[in-house]
Structure 1
Amino acid sequence: MKITFLGTGTSQGIPVIGCKCEVCSSVDYRDNRLRSSILVEIDGTHIVVDTGPDFRQQMLRERVDKLDAVLFTHAHKDHVAGLDDIRSFNFLQKKDMPIYATSHVLGRLKQEFSYIFEDSKYPGVPRVDTNPIENETFQINGIDIQPIEVMHYKLPVLGFRFGDFTYITDANHIAEEEKEKIKGSKILVLNALQKKSHISHFNLEEALELIEELKPEKGYLTHIGHFMGTHFAVSKELPENVEIAWDGLKLVI
Protein backbone atom coordinates (compact mmCIF):
# COMPACT_ATOMS: atom_id res chain seq x y z
CA MET A 1 0.00 0.00 0.00
CA LYS A 2 1.27 3.45 -0.95
CA ILE A 3 -0.14 6.66 0.50
CA THR A 4 0.47 10.07 -1.09
CA PHE A 5 -0.49 13.22 0.80
CA LEU A 6 -2.04 15.33 -1.95
CA GLY A 7 -2.70 18.21 0.42
CA THR A 8 -2.19 18.80 4.15
CA GLY A 9 -3.62 22.27 4.68
CA THR A 10 -6.80 23.57 6.22
CA SER A 11 -9.69 25.20 4.36
CA GLN A 12 -7.75 28.31 3.29
CA GLY A 13 -4.55 26.46 2.43
CA ILE A 14 -1.10 27.92 3.09
CA PRO A 15 -0.12 30.58 2.24
CA VAL A 16 -3.39 32.27 3.13
CA ILE A 17 -4.45 35.00 0.70
CA GLY A 18 -3.11 38.36 1.84
CA CYS A 19 -1.25 37.00 4.88
CA LYS A 20 2.40 37.90 5.53
CA CYS A 21 2.97 35.84 8.68
CA GLU A 22 6.11 33.75 9.16
CA VAL A 23 4.42 30.59 7.91
CA CYS A 24 2.75 32.14 4.87
CA SER A 25 6.06 33.86 3.96
CA SER A 26 8.16 30.72 4.49
CA VAL A 27 10.47 29.55 1.70
CA ASP A 28 10.33 25.98 3.04
CA TYR A 29 8.26 23.99 0.52
CA ARG A 30 6.79 21.97 3.40
CA ASP A 31 4.96 25.09 4.58
CA ASN A 32 3.03 25.38 1.29
CA ARG A 33 -0.14 23.37 1.86
CA LEU A 34 -3.01 22.62 -0.50
CA ARG A 35 -6.38 21.52 0.87
CA SER A 36 -6.32 18.12 2.60
CA SER A 37 -6.59 14.94 0.55
CA ILE A 38 -4.76 11.64 0.07
CA LEU A 39 -4.24 9.11 -2.71
CA VAL A 40 -4.27 5.46 -1.66
CA GLU A 41 -2.77 2.84 -3.99
CA ILE A 42 -3.36 -0.83 -3.18
CA ASP A 43 -2.63 -3.68 -5.60
CA GLY A 44 -3.20 -1.48 -8.65
CA THR A 45 -6.34 0.21 -7.32
CA HIS A 46 -6.16 4.00 -6.94
CA ILE A 47 -8.50 5.71 -4.46
CA VAL A 48 -8.65 9.42 -3.60
CA VAL A 49 -10.11 10.63 -0.31
CA ASP A 50 -11.75 14.05 -0.92
CA THR A 51 -11.63 16.24 -4.02
CA GLY A 52 -10.98 19.70 -2.64
CA PRO A 53 -10.55 22.93 -4.64
CA ASP A 54 -6.96 21.89 -5.48
CA PHE A 55 -7.88 18.44 -6.88
CA ARG A 56 -6.85 19.25 -10.47
CA GLN A 57 -3.50 20.68 -9.35
CA GLN A 58 -2.88 17.67 -7.10
CA MET A 59 -3.59 15.18 -9.88
CA LEU A 60 -1.26 17.03 -12.26
CA ARG A 61 1.52 17.33 -9.68
CA GLU A 62 1.44 13.60 -8.92
CA ARG A 63 0.87 12.66 -12.58
CA VAL A 64 -2.15 10.54 -11.73
CA ASP A 65 -3.64 9.03 -14.89
CA LYS A 66 -5.81 6.34 -13.28
CA LEU A 67 -8.44 6.67 -10.59
CA ASP A 68 -10.79 3.89 -9.51
CA ALA A 69 -12.90 5.62 -6.85
CA VAL A 70 -13.36 8.71 -4.71
CA LEU A 71 -14.30 8.64 -1.03
CA PHE A 72 -15.74 11.69 0.69
CA THR A 73 -15.30 12.44 4.38
CA HIS A 74 -17.95 15.20 4.42
CA ALA A 75 -19.47 17.88 2.23
CA HIS A 76 -17.56 21.03 3.23
CA LYS A 77 -16.28 22.89 0.16
CA ASP A 78 -12.59 22.38 1.00
CA HIS A 79 -13.22 18.64 0.61
CA VAL A 80 -15.60 18.48 -2.37
CA ALA A 81 -15.18 21.59 -4.55
CA GLY A 82 -12.97 19.85 -7.14
CA LEU A 83 -15.46 17.12 -8.00
CA ASP A 84 -16.03 18.55 -11.49
CA ASP A 85 -12.45 17.66 -12.46
CA ILE A 86 -13.14 13.93 -12.38
CA ARG A 87 -14.34 14.55 -15.97
CA SER A 88 -10.78 13.95 -17.13
CA PHE A 89 -10.87 10.43 -15.69
CA ASN A 90 -14.27 9.81 -17.30
CA PHE A 91 -12.67 10.61 -20.66
CA LEU A 92 -9.50 8.61 -19.98
CA GLN A 93 -11.22 5.53 -18.58
CA LYS A 94 -14.48 5.75 -20.55
CA LYS A 95 -16.64 4.97 -17.53
CA ASP A 96 -18.51 6.63 -14.68
CA MET A 97 -16.48 7.44 -11.56
CA PRO A 98 -17.60 5.52 -8.45
CA ILE A 99 -18.01 7.94 -5.54
CA TYR A 100 -18.62 6.83 -1.95
CA ALA A 101 -20.14 8.91 0.85
CA THR A 102 -22.89 8.85 3.43
CA SER A 103 -26.41 9.37 2.13
CA HIS A 104 -26.40 12.84 3.70
CA VAL A 105 -23.20 13.83 1.88
CA LEU A 106 -24.45 12.38 -1.42
CA GLY A 107 -27.55 14.54 -0.99
CA ARG A 108 -25.41 17.62 -0.48
CA LEU A 109 -23.34 16.79 -3.56
CA LYS A 110 -26.54 16.54 -5.59
CA GLN A 111 -27.43 20.05 -4.44
CA GLU A 112 -23.98 21.55 -4.97
CA PHE A 113 -23.39 19.86 -8.33
CA SER A 114 -26.96 19.51 -9.56
CA TYR A 115 -25.88 19.51 -13.22
CA ILE A 116 -23.98 16.25 -12.67
CA PHE A 117 -27.11 14.47 -11.46
CA GLU A 118 -29.74 15.80 -13.87
CA ASP A 119 -31.66 13.22 -15.91
CA SER A 120 -30.93 15.13 -19.10
CA LYS A 121 -27.21 15.91 -18.86
CA TYR A 122 -25.34 18.61 -20.71
CA PRO A 123 -22.63 17.02 -22.90
CA GLY A 124 -19.28 16.65 -21.15
CA VAL A 125 -20.41 16.95 -17.53
CA PRO A 126 -18.82 14.58 -15.01
CA ARG A 127 -20.32 11.10 -14.80
CA VAL A 128 -20.55 9.44 -11.40
CA ASP A 129 -21.77 6.20 -9.88
CA THR A 130 -23.01 6.95 -6.35
CA ASN A 131 -22.47 4.46 -3.53
CA PRO A 132 -23.87 5.22 -0.06
CA ILE A 133 -21.63 4.32 2.90
CA GLU A 134 -23.18 2.82 5.98
CA ASN A 135 -21.25 2.53 9.24
CA GLU A 136 -19.77 -0.84 8.28
CA THR A 137 -16.88 -2.19 6.25
CA PHE A 138 -17.30 -2.04 2.47
CA GLN A 139 -15.14 -3.10 -0.46
CA ILE A 140 -13.67 -1.49 -3.55
CA ASN A 141 -12.05 -3.97 -5.95
CA GLY A 142 -11.81 -6.47 -3.11
CA ILE A 143 -10.14 -3.96 -0.76
CA ASP A 144 -11.73 -3.72 2.69
CA ILE A 145 -12.40 -0.16 3.87
CA GLN A 146 -13.61 0.57 7.39
CA PRO A 147 -15.47 3.86 7.85
CA ILE A 148 -14.94 5.58 11.20
CA GLU A 149 -17.42 8.21 12.35
CA VAL A 150 -15.89 11.24 14.06
CA MET A 151 -17.39 14.56 15.05
CA HIS A 152 -16.47 17.91 13.48
CA TYR A 153 -18.16 20.04 16.16
CA LYS A 154 -21.78 18.89 15.57
CA LEU A 155 -21.22 17.45 12.10
CA PRO A 156 -20.57 13.71 11.62
CA VAL A 157 -17.52 13.15 9.40
CA LEU A 158 -16.02 9.89 8.15
CA GLY A 159 -12.47 8.76 8.58
CA PHE A 160 -11.29 5.63 6.77
CA ARG A 161 -9.13 2.65 7.69
CA PHE A 162 -7.31 0.72 4.97
CA GLY A 163 -5.63 -2.27 6.63
CA ASP A 164 -2.97 -0.91 8.98
CA PHE A 165 -3.50 2.71 7.87
CA THR A 166 -6.15 5.08 9.28
CA TYR A 167 -6.90 8.57 7.97
CA ILE A 168 -8.96 11.08 9.96
CA THR A 169 -9.48 14.73 9.15
CA ASP A 170 -11.82 17.47 10.42
CA ALA A 171 -12.46 16.04 13.87
CA ASN A 172 -12.54 17.30 17.43
CA HIS A 173 -14.16 14.27 19.08
CA ILE A 174 -14.12 10.50 18.54
CA ALA A 175 -16.48 8.24 20.49
CA GLU A 176 -15.05 5.26 22.33
CA GLU A 177 -16.69 2.70 20.04
CA GLU A 178 -15.17 4.43 17.02
CA LYS A 179 -11.74 4.52 18.66
CA GLU A 180 -11.89 0.72 18.83
CA LYS A 181 -11.95 0.66 15.02
CA ILE A 182 -8.70 2.64 14.94
CA LYS A 183 -6.76 0.62 17.50
CA GLY A 184 -4.09 -1.62 16.01
CA SER A 185 -3.35 0.75 13.13
CA LYS A 186 0.35 0.98 12.41
CA ILE A 187 -0.08 4.46 10.95
CA LEU A 188 -2.63 7.04 12.09
CA VAL A 189 -3.12 10.33 10.27
CA LEU A 190 -4.98 12.87 12.39
CA ASN A 191 -5.95 16.50 11.94
CA ALA A 192 -4.21 19.10 14.12
CA LEU A 193 -5.23 22.59 13.08
CA GLN A 194 -3.17 24.78 15.38
CA LYS A 195 -1.80 25.07 18.92
CA LYS A 196 -4.75 27.03 20.35
CA SER A 197 -8.08 25.35 21.06
CA HIS A 198 -10.61 25.31 18.22
CA ILE A 199 -14.35 24.69 18.16
CA SER A 200 -14.31 21.97 15.49
CA HIS A 201 -10.75 20.64 15.11
CA PHE A 202 -8.22 18.93 17.36
CA ASN A 203 -5.44 21.28 18.31
CA LEU A 204 -1.85 20.04 18.53
CA GLU A 205 -2.05 19.01 22.18
CA GLU A 206 -5.32 17.12 21.70
CA ALA A 207 -4.05 15.32 18.61
CA LEU A 208 -0.86 14.23 20.39
CA GLU A 209 -2.87 13.00 23.38
CA LEU A 210 -5.10 10.92 21.11
CA ILE A 211 -2.13 9.45 19.26
CA GLU A 212 -0.60 8.52 22.61
CA GLU A 213 -3.90 6.90 23.66
CA LEU A 214 -4.38 4.88 20.45
CA LYS A 215 -0.70 3.96 20.20
CA PRO A 216 -0.04 3.58 16.47
CA GLU A 217 3.56 2.87 15.53
CA LYS A 218 3.61 6.21 13.70
CA GLY A 219 1.40 9.28 13.75
CA TYR A 220 1.16 11.98 11.09
CA LEU A 221 -0.56 15.35 11.50
CA THR A 222 -2.57 16.94 8.70
CA HIS A 223 -5.14 19.69 8.03
CA ILE A 224 -2.60 22.21 9.31
CA GLY A 225 -3.35 25.94 9.58
CA HIS A 226 -0.89 28.81 9.41
CA PHE A 227 -1.29 29.52 13.13
CA MET A 228 0.40 26.19 13.93
CA GLY A 229 3.89 27.54 13.20
CA THR A 230 6.47 26.55 10.63
CA HIS A 231 7.03 22.91 9.76
CA PHE A 232 10.65 23.16 10.93
CA ALA A 233 9.84 24.70 14.33
CA VAL A 234 6.88 22.48 15.22
CA SER A 235 8.70 19.30 14.13
CA LYS A 236 11.26 19.87 16.89
CA GLU A 237 8.46 19.84 19.49
CA LEU A 238 6.93 16.50 18.48
CA PRO A 239 7.42 13.04 20.00
CA GLU A 240 9.76 10.73 18.11
CA ASN A 241 6.91 8.71 16.58
CA VAL A 242 4.93 11.74 15.30
CA GLU A 243 5.56 13.91 12.24
CA ILE A 244 3.77 16.71 10.45
CA ALA A 245 2.75 15.49 7.02
CA TRP A 246 3.57 17.70 4.03
CA ASP A 247 2.23 17.92 0.49
CA GLY A 248 3.77 15.22 -1.68
CA LEU A 249 4.89 13.03 1.22
CA LYS A 250 4.65 9.34 0.29
CA LEU A 251 4.37 6.39 2.67
CA VAL A 252 4.77 2.73 1.76
CA ILE A 253 3.19 0.23 4.14
Structure 2
Amino acid sequence: MRVTFLGTGTSQGVPVIGCNCPVCASLDFRDKRLRSSIHIEIEGKSLVIDTGPDFRAQMLREQFNKLDAVIFTHEHKDHTAGLDDIRPFNFMQKKDMPVYATTKVLNQIKREFSYIFEEVKYPGVPQVMAKTISKEKIFEVEGVKIQPIEVMHYRLPVLGFRIGDFTYITDAKTIAPRELEKIKGSKVLVLNALQLNHHISHFTLEEAVAMVELLKPEKAYFTHISHKLGTHADVEKQLPDHIRLAFDGLKIDIA
Protein backbone atom coordinates (compact mmCIF):
# COMPACT_ATOMS: atom_id res chain seq x y z
CA MET A 1 0.00 0.00 0.00
CA ARG A 2 1.20 3.49 -0.84
CA VAL A 3 -0.45 6.47 0.84
CA THR A 4 -0.03 9.96 -0.63
CA PHE A 5 -1.01 12.97 1.44
CA LEU A 6 -2.88 15.15 -1.06
CA GLY A 7 -3.49 17.83 1.55
CA THR A 8 -2.68 18.23 5.24
CA GLY A 9 -4.26 21.58 6.08
CA THR A 10 -7.33 22.58 8.02
CA SER A 11 -10.51 24.09 6.55
CA GLN A 12 -8.87 27.40 5.56
CA GLY A 13 -5.66 25.82 4.31
CA VAL A 14 -2.21 27.27 4.99
CA PRO A 15 -1.35 30.05 4.30
CA VAL A 16 -4.60 31.64 5.41
CA ILE A 17 -5.90 34.47 3.23
CA GLY A 18 -4.76 37.82 4.63
CA CYS A 19 -2.49 36.35 7.33
CA ASN A 20 1.18 37.31 7.68
CA CYS A 21 2.08 35.14 10.67
CA PRO A 22 5.43 33.27 10.56
CA VAL A 23 3.73 30.07 9.37
CA CYS A 24 1.73 31.71 6.60
CA ALA A 25 4.80 33.70 5.51
CA SER A 26 7.09 30.64 5.64
CA LEU A 27 9.03 29.72 2.51
CA ASP A 28 9.26 26.06 3.57
CA PHE A 29 7.17 24.02 1.12
CA ARG A 30 6.02 21.83 4.02
CA ASP A 31 4.14 24.83 5.44
CA LYS A 32 1.97 25.12 2.31
CA ARG A 33 -1.03 22.99 3.19
CA LEU A 34 -4.06 22.29 0.99
CA ARG A 35 -7.25 20.88 2.52
CA SER A 36 -6.94 17.39 4.00
CA SER A 37 -7.22 14.36 1.75
CA ILE A 38 -5.26 11.21 0.97
CA HIS A 39 -4.80 8.91 -2.01
CA ILE A 40 -4.32 5.18 -1.49
CA GLU A 41 -2.81 2.78 -4.00
CA ILE A 42 -3.49 -0.82 -2.99
CA GLU A 43 -3.76 -4.08 -4.93
CA GLY A 44 -3.76 -2.14 -8.18
CA LYS A 45 -6.66 0.04 -7.03
CA SER A 46 -6.70 3.84 -6.73
CA LEU A 47 -8.79 5.31 -3.92
CA VAL A 48 -9.26 8.81 -2.54
CA ILE A 49 -10.53 9.71 0.92
CA ASP A 50 -12.29 13.11 0.69
CA THR A 51 -12.42 15.56 -2.21
CA GLY A 52 -11.90 19.00 -0.71
CA PRO A 53 -11.87 22.35 -2.53
CA ASP A 54 -8.28 21.67 -3.68
CA PHE A 55 -9.00 18.26 -5.23
CA ARG A 56 -8.32 19.36 -8.82
CA ALA A 57 -4.96 20.92 -7.94
CA GLN A 58 -4.00 17.84 -5.90
CA MET A 59 -4.76 15.45 -8.75
CA LEU A 60 -2.79 17.59 -11.20
CA ARG A 61 0.18 17.85 -8.85
CA GLU A 62 0.38 14.10 -8.31
CA GLN A 63 -0.51 13.25 -11.94
CA PHE A 64 -2.96 10.51 -11.05
CA ASN A 65 -4.79 9.35 -14.17
CA LYS A 66 -6.92 6.64 -12.59
CA LEU A 67 -9.43 6.72 -9.74
CA ASP A 68 -11.56 3.74 -8.77
CA ALA A 69 -13.59 5.23 -5.90
CA VAL A 70 -14.08 8.14 -3.52
CA ILE A 71 -14.72 7.62 0.20
CA PHE A 72 -16.00 10.41 2.43
CA THR A 73 -15.27 10.91 6.12
CA HIS A 74 -18.04 13.48 6.67
CA GLU A 75 -20.05 16.24 5.02
CA HIS A 76 -18.09 19.42 5.75
CA LYS A 77 -17.18 21.48 2.69
CA ASP A 78 -13.43 21.23 3.21
CA HIS A 79 -13.87 17.48 2.63
CA THR A 80 -16.51 17.41 -0.15
CA ALA A 81 -16.37 20.62 -2.20
CA GLY A 82 -14.21 19.20 -5.00
CA LEU A 83 -16.54 16.37 -5.98
CA ASP A 84 -17.36 17.99 -9.33
CA ASP A 85 -13.76 17.47 -10.41
CA ILE A 86 -14.19 13.72 -10.73
CA ARG A 87 -15.53 14.45 -14.24
CA PRO A 88 -12.22 13.85 -16.06
CA PHE A 89 -12.09 10.37 -14.51
CA ASN A 90 -15.64 9.73 -15.77
CA PHE A 91 -14.51 10.67 -19.27
CA MET A 92 -11.22 8.72 -19.18
CA GLN A 93 -12.65 5.60 -17.57
CA LYS A 94 -16.05 5.75 -19.27
CA LYS A 95 -17.92 4.76 -16.12
CA ASP A 96 -19.66 6.22 -13.10
CA MET A 97 -17.58 6.96 -10.02
CA PRO A 98 -18.49 4.93 -6.91
CA VAL A 99 -18.88 7.32 -3.94
CA TYR A 100 -18.96 5.77 -0.46
CA ALA A 101 -20.45 7.58 2.55
CA THR A 102 -23.03 7.26 5.30
CA THR A 103 -26.66 7.99 4.51
CA LYS A 104 -26.39 11.34 6.31
CA VAL A 105 -23.34 12.40 4.31
CA LEU A 106 -24.81 11.21 1.00
CA ASN A 107 -27.99 13.20 1.67
CA GLN A 108 -25.92 16.34 2.28
CA ILE A 109 -23.94 15.74 -0.93
CA LYS A 110 -27.19 15.26 -2.86
CA ARG A 111 -28.42 18.65 -1.59
CA GLU A 112 -25.20 20.50 -2.33
CA PHE A 113 -24.59 18.83 -5.70
CA SER A 114 -28.23 18.45 -6.68
CA TYR A 115 -27.44 18.78 -10.40
CA ILE A 116 -25.45 15.51 -10.24
CA PHE A 117 -28.52 13.64 -9.03
CA GLU A 118 -31.23 15.17 -11.25
CA GLU A 119 -33.42 12.65 -13.04
CA VAL A 120 -32.72 14.42 -16.32
CA LYS A 121 -29.06 15.39 -16.20
CA TYR A 122 -27.37 18.30 -17.93
CA PRO A 123 -24.72 16.99 -20.36
CA GLY A 124 -21.25 16.64 -18.84
CA VAL A 125 -22.17 16.62 -15.14
CA PRO A 126 -20.29 14.17 -12.91
CA GLN A 127 -21.54 10.60 -13.02
CA VAL A 128 -21.59 8.88 -9.62
CA MET A 129 -22.86 5.71 -8.00
CA ALA A 130 -23.84 6.45 -4.39
CA LYS A 131 -22.80 3.63 -2.06
CA THR A 132 -24.10 3.67 1.52
CA ILE A 133 -21.77 2.61 4.32
CA SER A 134 -22.28 2.28 8.06
CA LYS A 135 -20.01 2.68 11.06
CA GLU A 136 -21.08 -0.80 12.11
CA LYS A 137 -19.89 -2.84 9.15
CA ILE A 138 -16.68 -3.49 7.24
CA PHE A 139 -17.26 -2.70 3.57
CA GLU A 140 -15.41 -3.50 0.36
CA VAL A 141 -14.24 -1.11 -2.33
CA GLU A 142 -13.04 -2.87 -5.47
CA GLY A 143 -12.21 -5.92 -3.35
CA VAL A 144 -10.36 -3.90 -0.67
CA LYS A 145 -11.79 -4.39 2.83
CA ILE A 146 -12.20 -1.20 4.87
CA GLN A 147 -13.07 -0.90 8.56
CA PRO A 148 -15.01 2.27 9.47
CA ILE A 149 -14.12 3.91 12.78
CA GLU A 150 -16.48 6.50 14.26
CA VAL A 151 -14.92 9.53 15.94
CA MET A 152 -16.62 12.65 17.22
CA HIS A 153 -15.93 16.08 15.73
CA TYR A 154 -17.46 17.87 18.73
CA ARG A 155 -21.05 16.58 18.26
CA LEU A 156 -20.71 15.50 14.62
CA PRO A 157 -19.96 11.84 13.87
CA VAL A 158 -17.03 11.46 11.45
CA LEU A 159 -15.68 8.23 10.00
CA GLY A 160 -12.06 7.25 10.06
CA PHE A 161 -10.95 4.21 8.08
CA ARG A 162 -8.63 1.27 8.66
CA ILE A 163 -7.20 -0.68 5.72
CA GLY A 164 -4.98 -3.51 6.89
CA ASP A 165 -2.32 -2.07 9.17
CA PHE A 166 -3.07 1.55 8.19
CA THR A 167 -5.60 3.81 9.95
CA TYR A 168 -6.61 7.32 8.82
CA ILE A 169 -8.52 9.65 11.15
CA THR A 170 -9.28 13.31 10.64
CA ASP A 171 -11.51 15.86 12.42
CA ALA A 172 -11.53 14.02 15.75
CA LYS A 173 -11.91 15.39 19.26
CA THR A 174 -13.01 12.24 21.08
CA ILE A 175 -12.96 8.51 20.28
CA ALA A 176 -15.12 6.05 22.21
CA PRO A 177 -13.44 2.97 23.77
CA ARG A 178 -15.23 0.62 21.37
CA GLU A 179 -13.86 2.52 18.38
CA LEU A 180 -10.37 2.68 19.88
CA GLU A 181 -10.32 -1.12 19.83
CA LYS A 182 -10.70 -1.03 16.03
CA ILE A 183 -7.56 1.09 15.74
CA LYS A 184 -5.31 -0.92 18.05
CA GLY A 185 -2.68 -2.97 16.25
CA SER A 186 -2.33 -0.49 13.39
CA LYS A 187 1.28 -0.15 12.32
CA VAL A 188 0.72 3.32 10.84
CA LEU A 189 -1.76 5.82 12.26
CA VAL A 190 -2.70 9.20 10.77
CA LEU A 191 -4.40 11.56 13.19
CA ASN A 192 -5.48 15.19 13.20
CA ALA A 193 -3.50 17.73 15.27
CA LEU A 194 -4.95 21.17 14.67
CA GLN A 195 -3.09 23.58 16.94
CA LEU A 196 -1.42 24.04 20.34
CA ASN A 197 -4.35 25.53 22.29
CA HIS A 198 -7.67 23.92 23.17
CA HIS A 199 -10.19 23.55 20.33
CA ILE A 200 -13.80 22.45 20.66
CA SER A 201 -13.78 19.92 17.81
CA HIS A 202 -10.16 18.93 17.06
CA PHE A 203 -7.26 17.31 18.87
CA THR A 204 -4.55 19.68 19.95
CA LEU A 205 -0.94 18.61 19.41
CA GLU A 206 -0.70 17.43 23.02
CA GLU A 207 -3.95 15.46 22.76
CA ALA A 208 -2.87 13.85 19.48
CA VAL A 209 0.47 12.78 20.96
CA ALA A 210 -1.36 11.30 23.98
CA MET A 211 -3.66 9.35 21.65
CA VAL A 212 -0.68 7.95 19.76
CA GLU A 213 0.93 6.88 23.03
CA LEU A 214 -2.31 5.16 24.03
CA LEU A 215 -2.71 3.29 20.72
CA LYS A 216 1.02 2.55 20.22
CA PRO A 217 1.37 2.32 16.43
CA GLU A 218 4.87 1.80 15.05
CA LYS A 219 4.61 5.15 13.25
CA ALA A 220 2.19 8.08 13.39
CA TYR A 221 1.66 11.10 11.18
CA PHE A 222 -0.33 14.22 12.05
CA THR A 223 -2.56 16.01 9.54
CA HIS A 224 -5.39 18.59 9.37
CA ILE A 225 -2.93 21.19 10.62
CA SER A 226 -3.63 24.91 11.05
CA HIS A 227 -1.26 27.85 10.97
CA LYS A 228 -1.68 28.06 14.75
CA LEU A 229 0.34 24.87 15.27
CA GLY A 230 3.67 26.42 14.26
CA THR A 231 6.10 25.89 11.41
CA HIS A 232 6.75 22.35 10.27
CA ALA A 233 10.44 22.58 11.22
CA ASP A 234 9.77 23.89 14.73
CA VAL A 235 7.02 21.41 15.58
CA GLU A 236 8.97 18.39 14.32
CA LYS A 237 11.74 19.17 16.83
CA GLN A 238 9.24 18.66 19.66
CA LEU A 239 7.96 15.26 18.53
CA PRO A 240 9.17 11.75 19.44
CA ASP A 241 10.99 9.91 16.65
CA HIS A 242 7.98 7.71 15.83
CA ILE A 243 5.66 10.70 15.28
CA ARG A 244 6.03 13.03 12.28
CA LEU A 245 4.06 15.88 10.81
CA ALA A 246 2.68 14.94 7.43
CA PHE A 247 3.03 17.44 4.58
CA ASP A 248 1.44 17.82 1.17
CA GLY A 249 2.92 15.34 -1.29
CA LEU A 250 4.40 13.04 1.37
CA LYS A 251 4.27 9.37 0.32
CA ILE A 252 4.51 6.46 2.72
CA ASP A 253 4.71 2.78 1.85
CA ILE A 254 3.11 0.21 4.15
CA ALA A 255 4.03 -3.46 3.79
The normalised TM-score by structure 1 is: 1.00
CA distance in 2, matches of 1:3, 1:223: 16
Q: Deviations over 1:122-154 (max 9, x none)?
A: 000000000001121011121110000000000
Map 1:186-201 onto structure 2 (within 5 A): 186-201=187-202
Distance of 1:123 and 1:188 partners within structure 2:
41
Q: Report what 1:57 is aligned to.
A: 57
Counterpart Cα distance in 2 of 1:45 and 1:35: 23
Which amino acid in structure 2 is aligned with residue 167 of structure 1?
Y
Tell me the amino acid that sits aligned with residue 164 of structure 2: G
User: What is the CA-CA distance between 1:85 and the residue it aligns to?
Assistant: 0.3
Deviation string for 1:138-177 (max 9, x for gaps)?
A: 1112111000000000000000001000000001000000
- In the other structure, the counterpart of 1:224 is 225
1:149 aligns with 2:150: yes
> Any residues of structure 2 matched to 1:102-251 within 5 Å, and which?
102-135=102-135, 136-251=137-252
Q: 1:215 Cα shift?
A: 0.3
* In 1: Cα distance, 2:20 partner to 2:92 partner: 41
Distance, in Å, in 2 between the alignment partners of 1:141 and 1:58 is 23
What residue is the counterpart of 2:91 in the other structure? 91
Q: Which runs of 5+ in 1 are unaligned?
A: none
Paired residues in the alignment total 253
Which amino acid counterpart does residue 108 of structure 2 have in structure 1? R
Identity percentage of aligned residues: 68
User: Could you tell me how far apart the structure 2 residues matched to 1:197 and 1:132 are?
Assistant: 34
**CA deviation profile, 1:202-230 (whole Å, cap 9, x unmatched):** 00000000000000000100000000000
Separation in 2 of the partners of 1:52 and 1:170? Answer: 14
- Residue 81 of structure 2 corresponds to which residue in structure 1? 81
Q: 2: CA distance between counterparts of 1:142 and 1:94?
A: 20
Q: Secondary structure of 1:227's partner? A: coil
Q: Distance in 1 between matches of 2:116 and 2:27?
A: 40
TM-score normalised by the chain length of structure 2: 0.99
